Amino acid sequence: MNTLREWVRRWQMEFNVDKCVVMHVGSGNIKYQYAMQGRRLSTVETVRDLGVYISSNLKSAAHCYEASCKANKMLGLVKRTIKHRSPDLMV
């Protein structure tokens, strides 16, 4: 946290503390509580960064689940918007 604080000071930038979270990776990790700018950061099990879901156990199940949900929503949209289907295309 001190390194981050120094980086912020050097580059004259600020973190949005409301968007900052802590994720403890690994089962043997000691779950310390962290604070930034006097506010305690919330702890999460899964976080989305650059469109990729990362879980604390580093398994891809959360990302696969979110990708399949997104694909099913798109499939539902396509099915709702196409009124006529060719009999050759029906499976």
The ranges assigned to domains in the chain are 2-81
Report yes or no on whether pTM surpasses 0.75: no
For 2-13, what is each residue's pLDDT tens digit? 788 889 889 999
28-58: burial string, b at 16+ Cβ within 10 Å, e else: eeeeeeeebeeeebeeeeeeeeeeebbbbee
91: pLDDT strictly greater than 60: no
Per-residue confidence (pLDDT) for residue 89, from 0 to 100: 63
**Nearest-angstrom CA–CA distance, 37 and 85:** 58
**More reliable by pLDDT, 87 or 1:** 1
**Nearest-angstrom CA–CA distance, 52 and 61:** 11
